[in-house]
Structure 1
Amino acid sequence: MIRTALARAGLIAAATCAATLLTAAPAAAHGADAPNGTDYRTRVAGVTPARPDLTVRVIEAGARLELTNHTGRPVEVIGYSGEPYLRVGPDGVFENSHSPATYLNRTLVGDTALPADADPAAPPSWRRIADGTTARWHDQRALWQESTPPAEVRAAPEREHRVRDWTVPLRDGTDPLAIGGTLDWVPPPDAYTWWAVSIVGLLAVGALGLFAAASTAGARALTAVGVLLLVGGAVAVLHPVGRELDAGAQGVGGVAVGLLGGQVWALLTGLGALAAGWYTLARRPAADFVIALAGACLALFAGVANAAVFTRSVAPVPWSPGIARVMVAVVLITGVGATAAGVLRLHAAARAATRTPAPTP
């Protein structure tokens, strides 16, 4: 029995390490270089002059702008040197291969080397990059690209500051338009408070493992752990859905494609926690091992992986940053607490086996 318990504990560690290696690349691929959080809030004021069928919004925590054109006419986004950069219209989305912005905007930091033919004075050379009437791109005019904050932020980082008002020129045929917006510094939250709450919570959940191993209160404590896994799993599923919505996914189909393309492991982690919660409530054999394994995966891939929201004022989700922090705290509390509860139950089972006398022949 002791060997079985130790083998299960070892399997938990091995499975967690393997999952870490498997999930590293896909997780980083979501939204190309979408941030996990930022302290700079980008907002769009609108298009001037207004076009009812031309809409713009901020996605990926401000990392990209999204323009949707339902006017039935092609609209151009103008690059940094006044050259045509993007063309969005009924025939799809095109980029100008001669525009320096085409290359600079491929990464969030704008560090792509320019090819020899990147000449803003050259006639446009349009290359189709997407179907539909929606374009998404990084735009340095709406971002803070310096490694250090502005001087006014350094002088008073505890206050909110307007960094600048920004504009991105457009062209509708021969009519000039402009996207207008603001860029603000928002003071980050107190990360120590959120970590302290998470640690206290996970210790409390882990203590359920002691009760779950006891004969008198074990059933109720095990039920509580199962319910918490269901809650943590549901939150862990909702979080990547929110990230896809914030990245511009449209409808159920768009969210599903985004999840399968860049958030599949985060989604599977949440679904696995839901299955583990059901397994625990059903009093299935080896529930202690399932609790520990599901908790470890939940803590790592849905908790620690998103813990940047504890230190950033803007989160990459369509709800408030405060709600995002609560969600990550719930996942951490559930994940680490469930892992501790499962390991404690394995340890209690091993000790009980040593106290059980061997049957006489």
Structure 2
Amino acid sequence: MEARSMVCYSRFERGSDVLGTLQKAERNLMPVIIQAGVADKALFELEKDERDEAGGAVISLNVDGRPLRLRLNFKAAARCDFQEVAAMIPQRICEFRKHAARFDERVEPVRAKVEARIDRTGHGMRLVSFGMEPLDVRQAFHWCEQRLEAQIEMLDHTLAPEIVSLPSYTYRRFAAGIAHLQPVQRRRAAMAKRLAEKDAVLEVDTLTEALIAHLGQTLPAIAAQVLRTRGSIGVAVPDVAARAGSAGQFHFSNADGRLVVSGYISPAGPRVFLYGNSLTIDEGIDEDLLSDLKGKALSAFITHPASDKARIATSRVSGDKRTTRVNLRTRRRMIGLGEIDAAA
């Protein structure tokens, strides 16, 4: 019999501790899976367990046509006796086989209702898979106590598809989790549609454009970098970067299809932090003053070359009077794909 192995090496950097642990686990555990009698129909996969902050791997086995998913902690794997771990795998397979039919009877009705809920109200979300949540290899499998997991495809913060895992026990709780995702997906799907209709890649507001110009950068160049990295990029403020550390940088990122800026627009006394269209001031501002400023240009409150590109919409002082939150109103426009291409 021959077992096939699929280790998701592409997720990790070559030479990394994580990758080394995965390879070590594969070498030590594959013979056990062959001996367990599932090798002729097994796809052995090792992939990073995103929910395990300490680092973990999910070992996926096809047992009699059903997926058995076991979780192995990376830290434990790095120092563990693989013979001990290997001895547990046949136990989990035996438990799973013994109760697989009853587990199916429990899973299928919930899966059908979850899929129907997503299809009906998901705004383009899709159920990719539904079954058992990865089980710690050291824990026994109990068909009635095993937590379930729905893997759902939706749009991420860059409007690209991603898989989100929802673990739960009952349909009612899955429905609550789906309801939590719905407004996020609806907002992102609507933005993706608007961008596609305009042949655009991002939305930007006037304040962000003005800050980019103040930094001596061009909008197409910043937008292209953000799209390429899928994360945030930092741009130093020349006149304060040397003395202000992180306060001397603005960061630009893709937030649900919008080019968003964050950084200290006023790095000293009191500091004013900007994120998108929101300011956080490290001081409780008099509410009468804030009321008088409503509707006025930000330049009436903060001196900055870009502050005339936004107006004060709403404001609120924190309960402890230590910070003030100010929401801004700006004009927005789409950044066309041609605008990016022309600057390339």
- Asked if these proteins are the same fold (TM beyond 0.5), I'd say no
TM-score by length of 2: 0.25
Choose between structure 1 and 2 for higher RCO, CA contacts under 8 A separated by at least 6 residues.
1
Greater helix share, structure number = 1
TM-score by length of 1: 0.24
Greater strand share, structure number = 2
